[in-house]
Structure 1
Amino acid sequence: MTTGPLATVEHEFLRLDLDLAELIDQIAAYTTVRPTTALQLRNLLLSGTIARQVRDRLWRRLVARAQEHEEWMVAALGMAMPALKVCARRLCRGLDPHHAQDVQEEMLLAFVVAVRAADTTWNRLPWTLCCRARRAGIRARKDAFAQHPATPRPEPRATPAGNPDQVLARAVRAGVLTADEAEVINRTRLEHLPLTHLAAERRASYWSLVKRRARAEKRLTEAIRSGRLSTESLLLVA
């Protein structure tokens, strides 16, 4: 899997320059290998020479850091990337490139949300996080097959109250979203432009767009549930 959102995050992972001393301390008593890069550390964890309980301790520290710093969230995703890629290959079979991108994006978003909500006392932490991502990917795959791309799209017409475009406009007027956040949601959710393409178009970090859209959508959902925006706005969430 050399293209798509997972490949983009993997590329950012390989570019990381982090101080790994604290993580390496978690495994120092169990190996003579001293990784100097995140990739080397990942390869060591995948080698089978480190006991699961020791790996769990390292992951607890990794997740704690990822909950506070963006670059460590990239590190957590990168450490889990081999498992995420295996899962994505299965879930993307039979899908066109657009829907395969959707599956990958939903997996990444679910992993990030799971990391933020994770209790670092959990056992088998990486497995739990990857399971959350897998479930999101399954839902995205089912949604893709539930669609009927062969059905002709209707001609544009006047939009009714509660139309997603109007929902976004109301959210901007209410101060729930910025105009730029509304544009990101509109283009990637409603117009189905992959985030990777939007990032390239803007010459922006793909990862920053993932986080920015997730934060904006969270605020939008909370505003709808609290009644700040009308219930018609549920059309967009759906």
Structure 2
Amino acid sequence: MGLDLQDKTTSTSFNDNALSAADRTFRLLVTGPDPLSVDGRSLGHNLPQRLIGLDECKELLLKPHASDELKDAVWAHLVRRSRCAGPAWMIGCVGVAMPGLKNLAARTTQGCPAHVVDDIVSEMVTYFVAQLRRIDLDRPNILPRLLLWAKKGALRVRARELASVEICADLPEPVALDTEPFMVLAEAVRCRVITSDEAKLINATRLEGQALRAYAGRLGVPADRLYKRRRAAEARLARAIEEGQVSVSCDGPASNLAC
């Protein structure tokens, strides 16, 4: 339908997690004179015999009387459009699946710190979108299978992130938050326990709460590499503090962390 995703999104700044960003983009794509739509006349299954905007389509699929056959017919069509019509239809798929994705996000991020929530949600959306290119459309339950893959991505990051958080939680008393953790990092750099880049990574993704995946994107490196680098650096830092090699009472130059 010739819709240019860039035209509708370039003026919008997304500051929330990936799911919030996708939800806002979806609402842009289903408003205006040329919204993303499906043709109920060709899809059948008692759909209205007209063009149906994807926001209305989402509501129709949530109705109690919506059959599994209808849901699979619509989802097969949506996935095919996402494969041949570009990123707007990928966002369209995320938007129609939004109720299930929000429910999944709430369950998989329960009890997690804010920066962990961002990483979990980001990976959940990434897995969902990746499966649009791979999902077998000849098998039933298309959306539940897409959500299952999204759940796998979310749980993968949750397990990895919470394992890293536990390392920080196990640090001895001198690293309590009321002892200027930034200075602990500066001292660790001075003592060559961690590098300046590792200190910046820990500071950004732990103390400032930046999402690690977003931080990795700005650096242009794979997120998995930064997860491993941060975990290793935190383990060295914890060990150095326990052994007395790093102490917040030392007067180390904080300028080591300067950009």
C-alpha distance 72-105 of structure 1, shift in aligned 2 (>3 A) = same
Contact 1:5/1:196, CA 8 A, preserved across alignment? no
Which of 189, 196, 219 aligns to 1:156? It is: 189
TM-score relative to the length of structure 1: 0.63
**Aligned residue for 1:57?**
73
- Whole-angstrom distance in 2 between the partners of 1:128 and 1:38: 20
Contact 1:30/1:50, CA 8 A, preserved across alignment? no
TM-score relative to the length of structure 2: 0.58
C-alpha distance 94-16 of structure 1, shift in aligned 2 (>3 A) = same
Query: What code does the residue aligned with 1:9 have?
Result: A
- Whole-angstrom distance in 2 between the partners of 1:40 and 1:94: 33
Percent sequence identity over aligned pairs = 24
**Within-5 A mapping of 1:57-206:** 57-68=73-84, 69-146=86-163, 147-148=165-166, 149-150=168-169, 151=171, 152=175, 154=185, 155-156=188-189, 193-194=210-211
- Whole-angstrom distance in 2 between the partners of 1:156 and 1:124: 52
C-alpha distance 33-7 of structure 1, shift in aligned 2 (>3 A) = farther
Contact 1:63/1:115, CA 8 A, preserved across alignment? yes
The runs of 5 or more residues in structure 2 that have no matched partner are 1-15, 176-183, 198-203, 229-259
Which of 16, 27, 48 aligns to 2:29? It is: 16
Q: Deviations over 1:112-139 (max 9, x none)?
A: 1111222222221111000000111111
Query: What code does the residue aligned with 2:75 have?
Result: W
The runs of 5 or more residues in structure 1 that have no matched partner are 166-186, 199-212, 222-233
Q: Mark the structure with the bigger radius of gyration.
A: 2
Q: Deviations over 1:153-192 (max 9, x none)?
A: 64336799xx9x7xxxxxxxxxxxxxxxxxxxxx88xx97
What RMSD, in angstroms, separates the aligned Cα atoms of the two structures? 3.6
C-alpha distance 32-21 of structure 1, shift in aligned 2 (>3 A) = closer
- Whole-angstrom distance in 2 between the partners of 1:96 and 1:19: 35
C-alpha distance 46-195 of structure 1, shift in aligned 2 (>3 A) = farther
Total equivalences in the alignment = 183
Query: What code does the residue aligned with 2:27 have?
Result: L
C-alpha distance 145-44 of structure 1, shift in aligned 2 (>3 A) = same
Q: State whether structure 2 residue 67 is matched by structure 1 residue 48.
A: no
Contact 1:4/1:196, CA 8 A, preserved across alignment? no
